[in-house]
Amino acid sequence: MKVRNFSYIPELNAEGSFKVPPQKPEHEVRPNRSWDADLSPHERLFYHQTLGSVRRSKIYQENPNIPKDNLDFILESKYNHSKELFPNRGDMLVQNETLGKETFRVLRNEKKLPDKVVEHMGHPLRIGGLKEKLSPHNAKQHNSGHHSQFTNNGFSRQPGNGNFFRY
């Protein structure tokens, strides 16, 4: 789940990192108040960073996987030359973000919240299944009978007709 980021610095951890921590507002933020509540307009403009301003700043180091030019942009597109025949010109530019897939790029100033685990009936319900796969080569797991490996080793009487057989 994503919610709007009300902080003065956008979360760009997946795209890169800060070389130096960015400046924080000098006043102390009170609980249940916004970070910019007691700032003058010019201080609010100074401290508030947008996605573009952080990416252009000198204290921000970008991830090397971010496309630098048109060729890199086209190579990261969804288009696959070996699978598609006669594609439209725009198909070579369609990115994974356009299709709704999750990538490292940040398009909006939003924070990702961890998904809440739904507990059924007030306690964590575990759906069953085998924790380990049982080996079919183990003799103890076969059906029991007089032809199994656990019968008397030697001569024994057959229960049906009374004949002697060696097992």
pTM of model > 0.85? no
Count of alpha carbons within 13 angstroms of residue 19, beta-carbon side:
7
Q: How many CB atoms within 10 Å of residue 6?
A: 10
Q: Check residue 167 and give its pLDDT.
A: 47
Q: Cβ neighbours of residue 30 under 8 Å, at least 6 residues apart?
A: 37
Q: Check residue 151 and give its pLDDT.
A: 55
Q: Check residue 164 and give its pLDDT.
A: 57
- Which residue ranges of the chain lie beneath pLDDT 50? 167
Counts for the chain of helices (H) and strands (E), in that order: 3, 6
